[in-house]
Structure 1
């Protein structure tokens, strides 16, 4: 339990908690959260966890190259945190971290030194990166992204399964276009569920699609589902959901304002019970 104040350094632990007995790091006073500040936006982490069953709660993370990193950390929860002023990504589920969640949080002003790598939440790793890519069944829930998240707000990498992104808000101001960053979400894994999210383009015409799917590795980028998502776009040209190469998804209850392009590529629109009522 941390008292209000700024704690400077790169914090790391490889200790495991257990089911029903997680390791908890939190602020003593949630109304005045402690700040874990790294040493520089050009290197290091604000916090890196390499153990299972952690709960990270009511804290702020800033001034590091990467904000919060979970490495082979399973069944961990990040909740009610703020991550900002990072050189690269804000939060990373990496190296096989599975069944973990970030929720009720905000992430903004990422990519201060490397805009093309300033993802809000990064799930898995790129092919060939050297980490365990089997980073499965993680959840991003009720997170406000932006402004100034310079890459994708959520990047779901190849060889990941079952990522859920729900009840999130995406503010497009700041998406940079660097390193192909031109959407709120990139899905390159399989069986992801993207639901009940709202995105705002906010005059940023670098955003070519609200949500994208890509087949980076053969057989991946497939069997994904989009339900009840709303995109506030500034022109009719940008697509809401676009699938490239052989990537594919099903989509239902998609709302676009103003009217304009909805689906591109292998997107199957279907009707749910919500639409029929």
Structure 2
């Protein structure tokens, strides 16, 4: 019996030894302190993981292409003095922006096909664009500072729906292309849907929420540009500082609404020279298709506007006839000071 037991034990030992080794589970937290470590961590990121930046400056191209999940998002976090800087761009860009060998977009941080990421606390600066989310739904940007970038600060693009930017700060954008220096940009112009429209040909960056942020001063285009084809976003509790807006490329308001069915409430907008301000908030109807009405159905409540003695209206609604079935609504709870013409150019709703 003892001999049989020894034989069985030996067989089991051999069988266990023959089994493939189990891969080690990814660490819950990956601490990084160099640009090389950050690039490696982004390349290997796994659902539920946190990549933690040490204080310091990180130079290079930082691209995230791994997906988190609803239950296990991926987090990139760090203190405000952890600063991402992209000294690019470099290489020949593809026809439509996509991470390819030898091409550096120049973006400070680029999420590409990377849904369910949380970005918290750190800073992005001195890059072509600040943070760009392409086809990266459920991106949450929280407490991040973006400043001194060549073009826009934060861009939700290529149907990066159900995303949030909150309690963050964006200043000093458009250092090279002033008319393209938006603080936060939602969606894409219809002329760019060929590249960025991956949902029926439309850039459906829908239901994006912009909450409690400070945008400006020295944002050279709009504080917030909401593009045609996008729907059902929320803009609440933000401070828009229009000092430094240039008026180039028709960028002459805090918020330009070309999307549909937005809620804009409890925001504070101010303007002081230098700069150009036509109106505080504007709508525009951009010709897309009957399926995607543009610049209609938005509601303004309890916004405070100081136009600095320069702007015409706090809220200027254009081409009203195109929104008969889905009118824009300006409530009496909105207030304005130092406006050349007043609160709005449409009847106010009690």
Task: Using structure 1 for the length normalisation, give the TM-score.
Answer: 0.92
Segments of 4+ moved more than 6 angstroms: none
The Cα offsets for residues 142-162 of structure 1, whole Å up to 9 and x where unpaired, read as 110111000000000000001
8, 11, 27: which is aligned to 2:59? 8
The Cα offsets for residues 153-197 of structure 1, whole Å up to 9 and x where unpaired, read as 000000000111111001111100110010000000100111100
Q: 1:34: which partner in 2?
A: 82
Offset of residue 245 of structure 1: 2.1
Contact 1:172/1:204, CA 8 A, preserved across alignment? no
Please tell me whether residue 169 in structure 1 is matched to residue 239 in structure 2.
Answer: yes
Distance 1:237 1:103, change over 3 A: closer
Offset of residue 263 of structure 1: 1.0
Partner SS, residue 7 of structure 1: strand
Q: 1:122: which partner in 2?
A: 185
User: Gaps (5+ residues) in structure 2?
Assistant: 1-51, 91-104, 198-202
Contact 2:60/2:88, CA 8 A, preserved across alignment? no
Q: 1:239: which partner in 2?
A: 313
Contact 1:108/1:148, CA 8 A, preserved across alignment? yes
The Cα offsets for residues 216-252 of structure 1, whole Å up to 9 and x where unpaired, read as 1253110001111010122276101111224551011
Partner SS, residue 269 of structure 1: coil
Partner SS, residue 19 of structure 1: coil
Q: 1:78: which partner in 2?
A: 141
In structure 2, how many angstroms separate the alpha carbons of the residues matched to 1:190 and 1:68?
Answer: 24
225, 245, 263: which is aligned to 2:344? 263
Q: 2:298: which partner in 1?
A: 224
In structure 1, how many angstroms separate the alpha carbons of the residues matched to 2:228 and 2:83?
Answer: 33
In structure 1, how many angstroms separate the alpha carbons of the residues matched to 2:249 and 2:87?
Answer: 26
In structure 2, how many angstroms separate the alpha carbons of the residues matched to 1:145 and 1:91?
Answer: 11
The Cα offsets for residues 196-228 of structure 1, whole Å up to 9 and x where unpaired, read as 000111135610100000001253110001111
- Which structure would you say has the larger Rg? 2
Offset of residue 140 of structure 1: 0.6
Partner SS, residue 76 of structure 2: strand
Partner SS, residue 191 of structure 2: coil
Contact 1:41/1:112, CA 8 A, preserved across alignment? no
Q: Which structure has the higher relative contact order (CA within 8 Å, separation 6+)? A: 1
Offset of residue 135 of structure 1: 1.0
108, 117, 126: which is aligned to 1:63? 126
The Cα offsets for residues 16-50 of structure 1, whole Å up to 9 and x where unpaired, read as 101121100001xx3x5310111158961000112
Q: State the aligned residue count.
A: 266
In structure 2, how many angstroms separate the alpha carbons of the residues matched to 1:87 and 1:33?
Answer: 20
Root-mean-square deviation (Å): 1.7
Contact 2:243/2:275, CA 8 A, preserved across alignment? no
Contact 2:242/2:275, CA 8 A, preserved across alignment? no
